[in-house]
Structure 1
């Protein structure tokens, strides 16, 4: 898989998944010194070559060939929380098919202390270079898992004492009045459509983010970030 963008490539270098990087001529010296400090072999190319390989101009002047990103398992996420001695915080995505939204949610989840992200196999964007670029290296630290059936997984989590909160713009319960101190699963639905009916019905509580503007809905990745911040703040 071709990985591009500075943070994703640097994180892949730290993991030992890269032996050579392709760098556009003209990239500033400070970044080149950072690359050289890792010991990686640098191959130089024209910026247009990187544009063509990445299929975008948003590569920030660097790319690398790495192994495909690997899916974790749900058990990996549960084990991570247990090893840290923390109440579980898991993010469940129901129909997030835009890779930039997917990557941004992974980034927010890692930064704000979630233990992992889970998607349903047939209702998600794949783990792609665009996801890795948008996640800015977070895919190297946060387990991202697939499940065949999200409603069934919710039932399993609830049986293990996890409280499931679904984000819904019309919900009467604002997130500022929720106790997030226990094991928590946060469910984020698709742009526009929201959660599927069955997923919504499986949630213990539907929560909303108070808004004051004329536009009543938030981008899915922004909503996930705000909700995860409230989880973190409530625990602090």
Structure 2
């Protein structure tokens, strides 16, 4: 595992400073960036005893590999990877678990968007397979605008096995698939629940689809056959939120 990583973006760095300040080693800010949002982050870092260095913007451009850094970079220790044992602890703390499962979502921008949606919807954890899936990266953190620090991302070895264990724990597993016969709006989506979203284009893998208790779909009225997975995830999560309220 890498001994350090670069974080960028105001929201993601502020979230780490607030939730895991011990991870931040130091911070670089672009010279000339002098506004309230940046100043708040700099003050927060200094209160935590973290060194802040002001550098030329090109230095940030070079270290961020072309990503939009918003004038700030942080050198940080890698976050701990959460696994099955962490999922067990989360489930033990919830009377009505609400989980999001992503099967084969490999684009970090899509994972970041899904984490942001999960945070807004009150999801207790996002579950992804260790293989064939995006993991937490600086890109994911930036797109998630702080949600990567508040929503646990659980990496598991065998997705089908984990789904079966969730079912044994009384959690209803609902998968989304274009070939499903029923619309999500016609299903009862209350109680302990795990929503499974597949990758764009391919959808869920066969074994994942067969393990689900129920398959649902979104109505598609136009020529486009599917939505971006981040958009579709937001719509599905908030239909569950609506019903649970």
**Which category describes the TM-score, using the shorter chain as reference length?**
over 0.9
What residue number does 2:60 align with?
50
CA distance in 2: counterparts of 1:152 and 1:11, whole angstroms: 33
Within 5 A, what are the aligned runs for 1:161-176? 161-176=170-185
Select which of 131, 152, 176 maps to 1:143: 152
Deviation >6 Å, runs of 4+: none
From 136, 146, 159, the counterpart of 1:127: 136
Q: What is the aligned residue count?
A: 235
SS of 1:27's equivalent in the other structure is: coil
**Contact residue 25 and residue 77 of structure 2 kept, 8 A:** no
Structure 1 167/90 Cα, relative in aligned 2: closer, same or farther at 3 Å? same
Distance in 2 (CA, whole Å) between partners of 1:25 and 1:179 is 54
TM-score (norm 2): 0.90
8 Å contact from structure 2 (residues 82, 154) kept in 1: yes
Contact 2:174–2:215 (CA<8 Å) still a contact in 1?
A: yes
RMSD, aligned CA? 1.5
State the distance in 2 between where 1:65 and 1:20 align: 5
Note the residue ranges of structure 1 that are not aligned, 5 or more in a row. none
> Match for 2:16 among 12, 15, 38?
12
Q: Please, what TM-score do these two structures have when normalized by structure 1?
A: 0.94
Q: Which of 31, 34, 41 is the aligned partner of 2:37?
A: 31
> Unpaired segments of 5 or more residues in structure 2?
none
Q: Is the 8 A contact 2:101 2:195 kept in 1?
A: yes
Query: Superposition pairs for residues 19-98 of structure 1, below 5 Å?
Result: 19-38=25-44, 39=46, 40-83=50-93, 85-98=94-107
C-alpha deviations, 1:154-203, integer Å up to 9, x for none? 11111111111111123121111222211111111111000111110111
